[in-house]
Structure 1
Amino acid sequence: MTGDRWRRIADQIEQVDATQSLGHRVCAVAADLLSVDHASLALVVNHATSWIEGSDDAAIVLDEQQFSLGDGPSFLAIDSLAPVMGIDMNSPEALRRWPAFAPVAIRHDAIAVFSFPLRVGEARLGVMSAYRSQPGELTAAEYADGLVVASLATMALLQEQAGASPGDLAAAFSPGVIHQSQVQLAAGMVSEQLDMSIIEALVRLRAYAYAHEQSVNSVARSVISRELAFQKEEKQ
């Protein structure tokens, strides 16, 4: 039965629009199988995201909020190397467990959050997260499907990584590589605007994205298109 589930889900991923990245296709299938509104994949290094792909922008924003805050089911799934089911962000338990992220999730109408680690043994690669506007648990079948999708995503990441340069993802898996270059370009522009280092500019970009509850990619695009410019603060 488990083998049948693997084949069924792998076939479903293959049937999604081939013009989309593999990462997006995995997220789309995860959202469908788990009956959620948004799904995402994130690669994580030292508890910081190096790449995020989502079924839509909302998934990316929610992931970035968790890792900016250092709080939330996805963050905990990475730490514990086990699935974390946040079945009701409005509940006292969730507000106590994730005091920083739960209010953000509620504002974004992500009332239930389900996170599955991407792992190889004790090695942490990342996390797959699913966001739903209604509270409640996953069914047994949905939970089992989530485990398989996370495993397939892990296998795909390892296969793509094997053909990529060290530290890089193969472009076929993710337009996140393109997004990452956009963020780096935007950081360079902010660095010039504020006369600071690239690292400091990246921090400013992420801080702006967090404060305005946008994805870093979205903020980067606004900087590159010159819709957004950072101004030096006047010294008192």
Structure 2
Amino acid sequence: MSVTHRYKAAWEGFWQEAPEGRGTVFWDSEPALTSGVHLALLEPELADRGLPLVDLGCGNGTQTRYLADRLPRVLGVDLSAAAVRQARGGDELGEVRFEQLDAADGAAVARLHAELGDANVYVRGVLHQAEEADRQALADAVAVLVGERGRAILVELAEAAGPLLLELAKDPGGPPPKLRPVFEHGIAPGRVADAALLGHIAAAGLDVLASGELPLTTTEYTADGSRLELPSKWLVVGHAVGHNE
């Protein structure tokens, strides 16, 4: 199995047209406000900090490079070849490995796990905009990559973000400039109900070890000049056996 053709084409088109450089796309906010916050939530639950970390859906690699400065082995993977090219181009010293990966392709994910062994995984904003037919395969990919010892943190837009995004899309002046390309390429964020997210995790055979809510920072600003933030849910998942041993 692999992701739907329409979904893959949407992301390839998006990244082919996305300007290079940090902060140019809607979700590419400063790592201190995103992956730094999420790493602090993941670290207390890590069974083995020495495992490699896979940034699943790494985009242009901004967050991956931040994580690579703080963890021993980090790999960024993305569905889009154009995104991977941007990520590699932004890594001027060539210190981080970036690879193209269709995470709904079970055989490809199994090969990566065979290479790396159990891994910790960072997933930010992947399931909430995926096609419905792809979501369980993506959750299953996380389960394969973490294996028995790894942990994953998933940060996804909460169900409550959907109406807020719809309101932005219907603004008489159009959506914010950095959000507009997302809609133009047929990507629909905020599609997964909170209960459905938990259902996918359970069906993948993963246990929720910690969870919470926090605002997800974007690179856009509201009319009053404040940073646009969207409600999100975060989950640290893995296998409860040996939790924090």
Q: TM-score, normalised by structure 1?
A: 0.30
Q: Return the structure number with greater helix share.
A: 1
Structure index of larger Rg: 1
Pick 1 or 2: higher relative contact order, CA cutoff 8 A, min separation 6.
2
Q: TM-score, normalised by structure 2?
A: 0.29
Q: Return the structure number with greater strand share.
A: 2
